[in-house]
Chains A and B, each alone.
Chain A
Amino acid sequence: MTIDWQYFVEVLPHYKTALWLTVKLAAIGILFAIVVGMICSVIQYFKVKVLNQIVQVYLEVARNTPLLIQLFFLYYGLPKIGITLSGELCGIIGLTFLGGSYMAEVFRAGMEAVSKSQIETGKAIGLSNLQLMRYVIIPQAFSYSVPGFGANCIFLIKETSVFSGIAILELTNTTKNLMGIYYKTNEALLMLVIGYLIILLPLTLFLTWLERRVRHAEFGN
């Protein structure tokens, strides 16, 4: 197998652009997913009437359909009823839709892991529900949620590769295009792998560190 090193240099700008776009879309999507996840998890935790059922339906739909199909719906389906969104916007909405459900589950599990006696103690010293949330439940739920949260972030970043299905020029789609034009498959795929590692390795290391930090703060080990 021969590798054309010159080729790397030639296509580097394309990968740079693609990498930046991948990071940007993933970051925005994850950010919104966190917001959606928080809202849904609080609704579920307090079993808010009506909203709870709506959230339940959302979670089931979002988690039981592939992201690609969700994107097809947004990108090809919506224009038929007169709503045309740009590819990137579809990508962000899709990632938020999917990610929100995963984040909701992780956050809810974190809140439910806070023991009943902690909550009763909080009540017994006179805290309001809001104060209970702020000082007792959320700080502890956070540390329970960190491992699942990290796994979700990594999962969602990798899911951006599905964006290639709706013509967004992120890493995977860029690679496919370059392969189609130059037939330098080995080089292109190697660049692709390196591209994802550049994003994910530092993040994984950071999350491992964070997990250990939080565990130490909470349980001292």
Chain B
Amino acid sequence: MAEQVPILQVKGLVKKYGDKVVLNGVDLQVEKGKVIAILGPSGCGKSTFLRCLNGLEEVQGGDILLENKSLISKTTKWRDVRQKIGMVFQSYDLFPNLTVMENILLSPLKVQKRQREEVEAQAKELLARVGLADRANDYPRQLSGGQKQRIAIVRALCINPDIMLFDEVTASLDPEMVREVLDVIAQLADQGMTMLIVTHEMNFAKLVADEVIFMDKGSIHEKAPAQQFFSNPQTERAQQFLNILQF
């Protein structure tokens, strides 16, 4: 079998806010179907990194290649890229003026111009999969945080992305609700979805991630298979980080 081209490649990515360097030459290769957990202390640039991949931040250097095509160009249509790279945020941000179903259908119908019946069927199936089939006609205000976040994930999935980015999606949830959201993501991992997950849930990362990336001060300090990273971290900074998390 020929060597597969990574679906996503990041080369020497640099992001600055004014003089402040937030990402200092980040390199990463993501193969299709791989789950990568991005760990690191607050302010290390992991969220910014994800946001760059989705065009929410302008970058000052380096390159991002999606299926071998550079995204760092004036002609990049981020609207098209975003249909391939889905993203879910910490604040879930369902649109409060729309029902659950309307939230999910918005992009497939208006952006992708797909047929309503087809999208609705897919939405219903996805809702059932996350255990919320009966909430399709509710408004976001009627849902709990965990339910909202699961809907937000369904909304992103219904666009049929090739890659999903999760930016601390459980950080603002009660402990009980964290579980229900992580279950959904674990399910996706089993189905072979390519994912980049920024998280503080170490046990979860250990369980679902193929590879762990440890970031600090804007660059990648350590990159290792998940099991190896947690049992035997190589860099001192990563050891320190993991020790603090263990009571």
User: A31 an interface residue at 8 Å Cβ cutoff?
Assistant: no
Q: Which residues of chain A are near B175, meaning CB under 8 Å?
A: none
CB closest chain-B residue, reference A143: B97
The 14 listed contacts between A and B (C-beta, < 8 Å) are A115-B91, A117-B91, A118-B93, A120-B89, A121-B93, A124-B54, A124-B156, A125-B111, A125-B159, A126-B79, A127-B107, A131-B111, A140-B96, A218-B97
Q: Are B89 and A117 in contact (CB under 8 A)?
A: yes
Q: Are A117 and B82 in contact (CB under 8 A)?
A: no
**Contact among A118, A125, A218 for B106, CB-based, below 8 A:** A125
Q: Are B95 and A124 in contact (CB under 8 A)?
A: no
CB closest chain-A residue, reference B158: A125
Q: Which residues of chain A are near B54, meaning CB under 8 Å?
A: 124
Q: Which positions in B face A, CB cutoff 8 Å?
A: 54-56, 78-80, 82-83, 86-87, 89, 91, 93, 95-98, 106-107, 110-112, 139, 141-142, 152, 155-156, 159
Q: Are A126 and B93 in contact (CB under 8 A)?
A: no
Q: Are B156 and A125 in contact (CB under 8 A)?
A: yes
Identify the 4 closest CB pairs spanning chains A and B, nearest first.
A121-B93, A220-B141, A125-B107, A139-B97
**Bitwise interface map of A from 122 to 148 toward B, beta carbon under 8 Å scored 1, else 0:** 111111100100011001100100000
* A68 CB to nearest chain B CB (Å): 40
- The answer to whether A117 and B97 touch (CB under 8 A), given A125-B82, A127-B106, A135-B106, is no
CB closest chain-A residue, reference B51: A120
Which residues, 31 to 69 on A, are CB-close (under 8 Å) to B?
none
Q: Which residues of chain A are near B96, meaning CB under 8 Å?
A: 140, 218-219
Q: Which residues of chain B are near A120, meaning CB under 8 Å?
A: 56, 89, 93
Complex Cα–Cα for A122 and B139 (A): 17
